Copies of this chain bind each other. A is one copy, B any other.
Amino acid sequence: MAVDLSYSDQVTGLVAKTEAFIRDHVLPIEDAHGGDITAAGGDAVRTDLQKAAKDAGVFAPHAPIEYGGHGLGMSDRAPVFEAAGYSLFGPTALNIAAPDEGNVHMLAHIASDEQKQQFLAPLAAGDVRSAFAMTEPAPGAGADPNALNTLAEKVSGGWKINGRKHFITGADGAGFFIIMARTSGEPGQRGGATMFLAPADTEGLTVGRHIATLDKSMLGGHCEVAFEDLFVPDSAVLGEVDQGFAYAQVRLGPARMTHVMRWLGAARRGHDIAVGYVAEREGFGSKLGDLGMIQKMVADNEIDIAATRALLTQACWELDQGSHAANATSIAKTFAAEAIFRIVDRSVQMCGGLGVSEDLPLARLSREVRPFRVYDGPSEVHRWAIAKRTVGAARKAAAAKAARS
């Protein structure tokens, strides 16, 4: 037992294969879309890419082995997902895009055998996509989950769900939904929430408009979803009634970290493009990459990449130990979302006019990564949670000390 930051040969090999697959197979397809990265190319491209990923032996690194995946833990996912994120189409190719990847993770942990058969198996195989319906329009559950006001009412043989969601990633075309609804307490209080599984074609479930956002690459969009007297049977309860907030934690920590992994790959690509550019471009009697102000940006990118990776490593290891790692994932997510934004922004700046044009992928990447500072909890909410823990611990320690004396 001692600090060890090496990866097994299995992981090292999978990273190498993933890098090669992205470089040789996925990036050419992304590039062929000429800057249009809408929905990662769409479901047809997705099918082709996933077939190729299966052929290359890099498909579903995160899924349980019994469902055709590689069964990697969080620590081992980090370098593989980062390699996949190098292309905006990469996560789709490996079937590790949000929200499917997080849903696979959660179903593997919580679902009943029957539910696994019905929902997890086809999802892990890429046969269907899925959505996770939690966020609501004001005054519902946004950054503050206690505001949840989609209601599930107990009826004979099941539950009747009513409410409205928005920003539901992947909803358009999803095969099924995981729905978070209130089953006790009042909006604004914690109370109890429950997760329900519902096939997309269940009566009373309507996918509304796509909410256009700065990011465009998510397959299935960010949609409005309405539940109007949606009936689900008792067997649709995921886990136990009123335990939805606790289960959300099972999903949230890892989902934050896999977001970081993928976006870090995207940021690294931006950085690589910019470094390649300044390494050769002449200006002011020098190569740009030999000028101090450019060197500062290059170095700051390297520092941000290294720090993001290091925080990710720490949080993933804690998750692998069985912890919720709420604090470590908040820290890593907050730092990473801001660092990734800075990395891409500096990469844009290094390339000047080209950087803000669509002739390079940098402008596109800058749009894609910006929302990460909001999605999965805005930086402000994570900072608030981190500070509450820290200040709370100080108060507890002071009280304990006072009690001793």
Contacts and interface: CB of A to CB of B under 8 A. Distances in A.
Given A283-B144, A295-B383, A317 B4 contact: yes
Contact of A292 (B291, B366, B398): B291
A201 interface: no
A111 to B, nearest CB: 27
A116 interface: no
Could you say how many copies of this chain the assembly holds?
Answer: 4
B292 A296 contact: yes
A205 interface: no
A311 B317 contact: no
Interface stretch (A97-105, A123-131, A373-381): A373-381
A35 interface: yes
Interface stretch (A154-162, A247-255, A299-307): A299-307
A75 B2 contact: yes
Contacts of A327: 302
Interface string A61-86: 00000000000000110000000000
B391 A278 contact: yes
B386 A302 contact: yes
Interface of A: 1-9, 11, 35, 75-76, 135, 138-139, 142-144, 147, 166-167, 188, 211-215, 222, 272, 275-276, 278-285, 289-296, 298-300, 302-303, 306-307, 309-311, 313-314, 316-317, 320, 327-328, 331-332, 334-335, 348-349, 352-353, 355-359, 363, 366-367, 370-371, 373-375, 378-380, 382-384, 386-388, 390-391, 394-395, 398
23 contacts: A2-B75, A3-B317, A4-B4, A138-B281, A167-B353, A211-B359, A212-B357, A214-B357, A272-B394, A278-B391, A280-B395, A289-B387, A293-B296, A293-B384, A295-B384, A299-B383, A300-B383, A303-B334, A303-B335, A306-B311, A306-B328, A349-B378, A366-B370
